[in-house]
Structure 1
């Protein structure tokens, strides 16, 4: 199953991704699926992301002034339409480039404004940073989720399960130490992942009231990982308290199609 199908996307949406374990890869894969459906797609961030590799299907717009940025994006779309670029290009937009091949993103109000403008069918926002770790707990200022988000994807990398609960595998583990009887010598287990998902200050923190909350258990790359995903999902539903996702999907971004199962 394709990602867009698993997420049950309609004609347009503002999709924000939080957590760890493959946000950027998932966003670009989803963007290309939507582009193949002849949808106009913008990728941006409310934090920082690595600049995308230069590819023929990507147009990069870097502009600090949001009004000028919107004008440039409209020009790209119009240019593609006039020149007959197949299905248009995916636009990646940020305010400025940073050291280390990174890009500074836009603020949440700007993302909401671009969505309201209506020139893009879909806006995909990386709304959280995890320093390339598979799991994270959000700091007080995180995540930066636009208010008009229609789908909030909370992503967890299953490859972290069984690893030490340390900064090497888990971004901001000290926030968990304050809440649960875990320490740097503890192991990231299924109970911890379930807590992180349902905890009000966890994965789906700052979710807009009308956004559909989708738990993405990523890196379900083999049967063992898929069984782990099933146990985590069942544990979350059995808890029956805290934040319960509206949908749970298992993904493997190294396979095609990328969705292994829609659990809920």
Structure 2
């Protein structure tokens, strides 16, 4: 299997934005392992980077900080209002960071409160226009759960994007409906950016097959999507499959 960066077709000048639910931070950090010159940041509140980067700089001027800091991967954020979180930047600031040459740039662009599936509300997700690849995520483990707040962030929005009623069990088609919907996983993706959905947490034979079913359904619903990744992002070999139309 290819590495994660190979499967996403990202490299030195890429701006990758992770949205959705079920592994955004892990995807960003996995890419940072592949791309050691990376800069890691966010457009939303994010847990502290910790040992996932070589150095963290908390600043309102990330462009200057990226120019001055030599350590990579470099984490950039603003000081948070809680001891365990940083604040992200406005998407326009991230655009400036990308224009300055601080790439590859890896961006957490959504929040989901550790849930397994999400549909965005109005104004979400805050994706910078410089994005070259956007990765809408969902966890295959959400299949079989009822549509409630325990497993899903914004379940009312998920119900609006699918034919699923509150409290009913989530099936593969419902996950695909969310990932492939222009007001779901494909929302706010800039012109020219590739949308590559990721179905994560496929770490058993059963979940791999379910994730592949979700991926195939996404490709049926969204002609603009070139491929869907099936992943187990916490593993050393995170890419399980790359599902295409061929």
Report if TM-score (shorter chain) is over 0.5.
yes
Distance of aligned partners of 1:243 and 1:197 in 2 relative to their CA distance in 1, 3 Å threshold: farther
Give the structure 2 partner of residue 61 of structure 1. 57
CA contact (8 A) 1:15 1:149 kept: yes
Structure 1 counterpart SS, 2:50: coil
Give secondary structure in 1 for the equivalent of 2:169: coil
1:153 aligns with 2:135: yes
What is the total number of aligned residue pairs between the two structures? 243
Q: Distance between the aligned counterparts of 2:6 and 2:155, measured in 1?
A: 34
Are 1:99 and 2:100 an aligned pair?
A: no
**TM-aligned CA deviation for residue 179 of structure 1:** 4.3
TM-score (norm 2): 0.93
**In the TM superposition, what whole-angstrom CA distance separates every residue of 1:167-206 from its partner, at most 9, and x where no partner exists?**
1100000113334443332111111111112211101100
Alignment partners' CA distance in 2, 1:172 and 1:8 = 31
Instruction: Give the secondary structure class of the aligned counterpart of 1:143.
Output: coil
- Structure 1, unmatched stretches of 5+, are 78-87
CA contact (8 A) 2:137 2:179 kept: no
Moved over 4 A (4+): none
- In 1, the alpha carbon distance for the partners of 2:51 and 2:158 equals 38
How far does residue 73 in structure 1 lie from its aligned partner after superposition? 2.5
Q: Which residue of 1 aligns with 2:220?
A: 238
CA contact (8 A) 2:231 2:238 kept: yes
- RMSD of Structure 2 on Structure 1 (CA): 1.6
Paired residue secondary structure (2:18) = strand
The TM-score with structure 1 as length reference comes to: 0.87
Contact 1:198 1:243 in 2 (8 A): no
**2:192 is the counterpart of 1:195:** no
Aligned to 1:124: 106
Give the alignment partner of residue 211 of structure 1, picking from 193, 202, 210.
193
Q: Does 1:75 align with 2:68?
A: yes
Which residue pairs with 2:231 in the alignment?
251
Unpaired stretches in structure 2, ≥5 consecutive residues? none
